[in-house]
Structure 1
Amino acid sequence: MTPEQLLAFRTEAFMAVALWTGLSLLFVLFLSLRISTGRRRLKVSVGDGGQPELTATTRAFGNAIEYMPLALVALAVVAVFYSAAIVHALGGAFLLGRVLHAWGMAQEKQPAAGRMLGMLLTYVPFLGMAGLLIFTAFS
């Protein structure tokens, strides 16, 4: 690969990281707004006020915040070594997993299928990124 081709390869991969990071930021903002709206509607100033709906929206936000930073850092490191297609596959699956999980958390009947599938689509990209990064470290 020529230096120009290598630069284009890396640029495409990091543009993919930028896309999934930007979409993740918008999703976190959406989850945060759901909490604010729920608190206003239910007249709860701090916490969940013992309201199950607010507990679920707060946990959906907290769960996303617990997973997203590490996933996005790992995705950026993957982009150093792998193609944009791999970054898109991992980033897309991960974000879809987070969306499905949050949607599943909002369902009245628990455990909801969306929540379960969402966790699966969180774990699989995590394992994929971990595997790629460990393989890269030893190759």
Structure 2
Amino acid sequence: MVTALYAAILAALMIWLSIQVIKQRRKAQVKYADGGVDALTIARSAHSNAVDYVPITLILMALLEHNGAQFWMIHLSGIAFVVGRVLHAKGILADRLKGRVSGMKLTFAVMAALVVLNIVYLPFDRLW
């Protein structure tokens, strides 16, 4: 299953983002929430944004793969999504709006494409 490759890569990204949160918590000695510490708020934002977008996109990729789309479509979606997520995460952590915007545009483009492709590849003859 091709989607498993991208799930593993994105899980690694989410682990890395979690570590960024942990580092900021230790540095600021904050146990819960963000303690009003900007760097911790930023790290938590980067992590939570990934948590918002990664699962549904992986589900859409897996469904598209299951419904018989060509592997190049899954790979293209996966690569573009990973690039978008990395751009966004690095943009947030570096407080660079350009990276955040580029990352979200790519993220949304992949998600929208997956929505359309899932409808196109939906096995309508097996729905009823």
**1:108 Cα offset (Å):** 3.4
> Where does 1:1-139 land on structure 2 (aligned, <5 Å)?
14=1, 16-80=2-66, 81-108=68-95, 112-137=97-122
Question: What is the RMSD computed on CA atoms of the aligned residues?
Answer: 1.3
Distance 1:35 1:122 in 2: 22
Give the 3-state SS of the residue equivalent to 1:77 in structure 2. Answer: helix
Q: Which 4+ stretches in 1 moved above 3 angstroms?
A: none
Larger Rg: 1
1:10-65 CA distances to partner (integer Å, 9 max, x unpaired)?
xxxx1x21110100111110000110011001111111111111111101100100
Give the 3-state SS of the residue equivalent to 2:77 in structure 1. Answer: helix
In structure 2, the gaps of 5 or more residues are none
Count of residues in Structure 1 that have an aligned counterpart in Structure 2: 123
